[in-house]
Amino acid sequence: MNLEILCREVVVLAKQAGTFIKTEAGKFKAESVEFKGLNDMVSYVDKTSEEMIVAKLQQLLPEAGFITEEKTVVKTALQYNWVIDPLDGTTNFIHGLPVYSVSIALKEYEELVLGVVYEINQDECFYAWKDAPAFLNGKQIRVSDKPTVSESLIATGFPYYNFEKADAYMNLFKDLMQSCQGLRRLGSAAVDLAYTACGRFDAYYEYNLNDYDMAAGILIVKQAGGQVFDFTGGRNMLKTRDVIATNGKVSQELLNKVLFAFRK
């Protein structure tokens, strides 16, 4: 398999899905929203986008299975599985806040080998494949070189259900509020990771995520020279559902803060 050729085809597909989403944003109505759970919203835009993506990926790699947010297809395979969030940042989309993206990753067995994140409103496509650099709209990107948390701009995400770790999260938030240059919450984990990969953020952390929220972004950060790990410092982000991504220089300092906050 030529991962570079496949990745570039997925970039085209992600942009096509993004064009559909952006078109629908101009005529979207609140009554189209459905609730999958507490504060967990979905619309026909998410579902239609996913169906478009799945149909074209099936043509590109017929033997692959799918792990998708909206479950429009239920199929897993032994070797290759696509991991898809057709609209990461649905709440932003519904409220007209222009930070949302298409996220597509490919796993070979348990290894991420391809990732594409298309931030729709900025028309920025971040992508990478195994054993290659990471790119933004055709130009190679790298993580930042900030050496300390005190010099860093850090992204996070707020939990919108499963609040059992909320106190620990707020302890960490308070610590970082006082010890870094700023905290940001954009509302799309895929975008947060992509922005870490290109150096706009120096680090990012969040818990209670799903694999389709972060799979593509994780690979892009790694291929851009960054480090990604879970809240224990391990590499099981897709299973533990929490993630820390950094430029590699602030990893230990940020991990220490996370460990201290979540073990209180």
Angle subtended at Cα 140 by Cα 213 and Cα 185, rounded to the nearest 5 degrees:
35
Q: Which domains does the chain have, with CATH numbers?
A: 3-140 (3.30.540.10), 149-262 (3.40.190.80)
Q: What is the mean pLDDT of residues 172-179?
A: 96
Res 214 pLDDT > 90: yes
Q: For residue 30, what is the DSSP state?
A: G
3-class secondary-structure state, position 33: coil
Angle subtended at Cα 118 by Cα 162 and Cα 202, rounded to the nearest 5 degrees:
65
- pLDDT value at residue 39: 45
- pLDDT value at residue 220: 98
Q: What is the mean pLDDT of residues 223-246?
A: 96
Q: How far apart are the first and last CA of the chain?
A: 47
Q: Enumerate residues 6+ apart whose C-beta is below 8 A from 61.
A: 6, 80, 82, 106
Mean pLDDT of the chain, nearest integer: 93
Phi and psi angles of residue 130, each rounded to the nearest 5 degrees, phi first: -55, 140
Q: Enumerate residues 6+ apart whose C-beta is below 8 A from 203.
A: 149, 152, 154, 155, 196, 244, 245, 246, 247, 250, 254
- pLDDT value at residue 73: 80
Count of other CB atoms within 10 angstroms of residue 43: 21
- pLDDT value at residue 31: 64
Give residue for tokens 């971040």.
Answer: 126
Q: Counting Cβ atoms within 10 Å, is residue 56 exposed (0-12), middle (13-18) or buried (19+)? A: middle
- pLDDT value at residue 37: 53
Q: Model pTM?
A: 0.95
> Looking at 22-36, 83-97, 202-216, which range is the least confident one?
22-36
pLDDT tens sequence across 6-65: 999 999 999 999 999 999 888 876 666 776 555 455 678 888 999 999 999 999 999 999
For 255-263, the CB contacts below 8 A with 24+ separation are 255/229, 257/149, 257/172, 257/175, 257/176, 257/179, 258/172, 258/205, 258/231, 259/231, 259/232, 259/233, 260/175, 261/168, 261/169, 261/171, 261/172, 261/175, 262/165, 262/168, 262/172, 262/231
Gap between the Cα atoms of 3 and 61, Å rounded: 11
